Amino acid sequence: MSEKPVVLVTRKLPDAVEQRLSRDYVARLNPDDHQYSSDQVIELAAGADAIVPCHTERFTAEVIDRLPATVRVIANFSVGVDHVDLAAAKARGIIVTNTPDVLSDATAEVAMLLILGAARRAGEGEQLVRTRAWRDWSPAFMVGTQVTGKRLGIIGMGRVGQVVARRARAFDMEIHYHDVRRLEPEAEAGARFYATLDDLLPNCQFLTIHCPAMPGTDGLLDAGRIAQLPDGAIVVNAARGTIVDDDALTAALKSGKLAAAGLDVYRGEPDIHPAYRELSNTFLLPHIGSATHETRDAMGFRALDNLDAVFAGHEPGDRVA
């Protein structure tokens, strides 16, 4: 590379990632971590060869259309790419990449945390202790659902789903799953495959969602599908909020059809459906599935590997458009 390409980075990235970026590129960083509007992204991208955004910036067809002609690549700091209109990027010849694999362990940890937290009423318990409202102990106090040995249904048995299955086996959970394709027997490791959600759902004492957000999965867990779950089931979502119909989920939590829900992601986050906050049987986290030092470094380096490949004239490893 004779002249270093210019890269707009929309959020504060880990120090080591920003150091490598600044060494290899003309980096336009965001040290104060302001959340940019689409107009600001377009303005700040003037003359840039690449953008490294997060899922907090939306690249609709309209935004992509208004990006400066210099922008050749959008190297996402995320595995999810539902914030980018991939067809529009492709039509404009903009390469789009993501960061798969490196966040599977961290996200699976949070899925397990949600399973345990929702089942064992961890949010309620913590609140009692913190607010000094904890007065007593009795056999009837804070009784929840045991996780050990239960049937866990996994929607989306990709990288994260498979790690969740491995972690859940340590709790003697029985793994049942649905995906668009069946895994090889070795990867399945005894998990039971269901070709349809209709077949899977009645078997799920716990249900955890790990499929991508896309038009076909929007509102996938709706009232009809929740009704197919056994009474007292527990639902967990560490994928994307749009996969769940919030009105249906909150109604099932209110009625007692579902015992609890553990959620890390929400439609319209951080402005979440108000009922989630009001219900006592929800265990709520603020989209921290990949938030570990190790994983955030690895996501940044993976995004930079993709950038490096593009500017060296190679096919990036994680091209999604």
Burial of 251 (0-12, 13-18, 19+ CB in 10 A): middle
**Is 178 among the catalytic positions?**
no
**Is 240 among the catalytic positions?**
yes
Nearer to ligand DGY, 78 or 281 (CB): 78
- Amino acid identity of 17? V
Closest residue by beta carbon to ligand DGY: 80
Nearer to ligand DGY, 153 or 289 (CB): 289
Helix (H, G, I), strand (E, B) or coil at 172: coil
Per annotation, catalytic residue among 18, 124, 188, 269 = 269
The minimum distance between CB 107 and ligand DGY, in angstroms, equals: 7
Nearer to ligand DGY, 211 or 253 (CB): 211
Distance separating alpha carbons of residues 194 and 238, to the nearest angstrom = 21
Per annotation, catalytic residue among 55, 121, 240, 273 = 240
**Is 269 among the catalytic positions?**
yes
Residue 30 near residue 10, CB atoms below 8 Å: yes
Helix (H, G, I), strand (E, B) or coil at 261: strand
Residue 76 near residue 303, CB atoms below 8 Å: yes
Distance separating alpha carbons of residues 243 and 103, to the nearest angstrom = 20
Helix locations, 120-236, DSSP H: 122-130, 159-169, 185-188, 197-200, 223-228
The minimum distance between CB 182 and ligand DGY, in angstroms, equals: 25
Per annotation, catalytic residue among 225, 273, 287, 302 = 287
The minimum distance between CB 51 and ligand DGY, in angstroms, equals: 15
The minimum distance between CB 243 and ligand DGY, in angstroms, equals: 12
Nearer to ligand DGY, 41 or 147 (CB): 41
Q: Could you list the residues that contact ligand DGY (CB under 6 A)?
A: 54-55, 78-80, 103, 289-290
| Active site residue ranges | 240, 269, 287
